[in-house]
């Protein structure tokens, strides 16, 4: 769904941001690529195999700028996301009877189990799917003006 939603717009529209503080659809997609490989999969592996090991730091807002997410190609980014997701699913399936109760002591969240992290990974997808849907709604308002979108109903978070 994430890939399909991201590819439902042109490259130009995928780079559009309502404000400088917002992320574009392309930035969201590239964030998901990095989260797939460098955050959730890597950290879940760490909890399952070495829960006491400190995690490498991540900085998604900085990565969006430094890694130039918004300058990347949309189709190439969508394909990279799909490849990383396929690898994650392959990786998850190779674990027979994982210890979902293994716990990592997160510096701010406290005890975080492997099950917690897996559930958070799924929820993270849903949050960003909602974010992409919001951009699509905003693009409709932008491109449909002066027509009203009131009949569709209000956007609610």
Share of the chain above pLDDT 70, in %: 100
Confidence of residue 73 (pLDDT cuts 50, 70, 90): very high
pLDDT exceeding 90 applies to what percent of the chain? 96
Asked if 26 contacts 69 with a C-beta cutoff of 8 angstroms, the reply is yes
Could you tell me the residue range of the domain that residue 144 belongs to? 2-152
157, pLDDT greater than 80: no
Instruction: Tell me if 157 is assigned to some domain.
Output: no
Q: Quick check: 19 and 142 in contact, CB under 8 A?
A: no
Total domain count, the chain: 1
- Tell me if the pTM is above 0.85: yes
Q: What's the pLDDT score for residue 84?
A: 97
Average confidence score pLDDT of the chain: 95
CATH number of the domain that 123 lies in? 1.20.120.450
Whether pLDDT at 70 is above 80:
yes
pLDDT tens-digit readout, 10-68: 999 999 999 999 999 999 999 999 999 999 999 999 999 999 999 999 999 999 999 99
Cis? peptide before 146, omega within 30° of 0: yes
19 occurs within a structural domain: yes
Task: Please name every residue paired with 113 in a beta bridge, in sequence order, or none if there are none.
Answer: 103
Give the C-alpha separation, 60 to 74, whole Å: 19
At 155, is the pLDDT very low, low, confident or very high (cuts 50, 70, 90)? confident
C-alpha–C-alpha distance, residues 89 and 32, integer Å: 15
**Is residue 148 over pLDDT 80?**
yes
Return contacts of 89-98, CB within 8 angstroms, 24+ apart: 91/41, 91/45, 95/48, 98/48
In a domain, 67, yes or no: yes
Whether 83 has a pLDDT exceeding 90, the answer reads yes
């Amino acid at each position: 769904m994430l890939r399909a939603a991201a590819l439902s717009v042109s490259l130009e529209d995928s780079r559009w941001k309502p404000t400088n503080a917002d992320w574009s659809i392309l930035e969201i997609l590239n964030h998901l690529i990095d989260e797939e490989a460098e955050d959730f999969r890597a950290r879940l592996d760490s909890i399952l195999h070495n829960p006491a090991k400190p995690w490498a730091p991540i900085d998604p807002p900085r990565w969006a700028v430094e890694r130039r997410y918004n300058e990347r190609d949309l189709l190439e980014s969508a394909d990279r996301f799909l490849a990383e997701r396929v690898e994650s699913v392959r990786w998850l399936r190779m674990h027979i009877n994982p210890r979902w109760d293994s716990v990592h002591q997160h510096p701010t969240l406290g005890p975080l189990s492997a099950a917690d992290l897996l559930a958070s990974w799924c929820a993270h997808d849903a949050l960003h799917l909602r974010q992409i849907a919001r951009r699509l709604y905003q693009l409709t308002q932008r491109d449909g003006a002066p027509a009203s979108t009131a009949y569709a109903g209000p956007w609610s978070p």
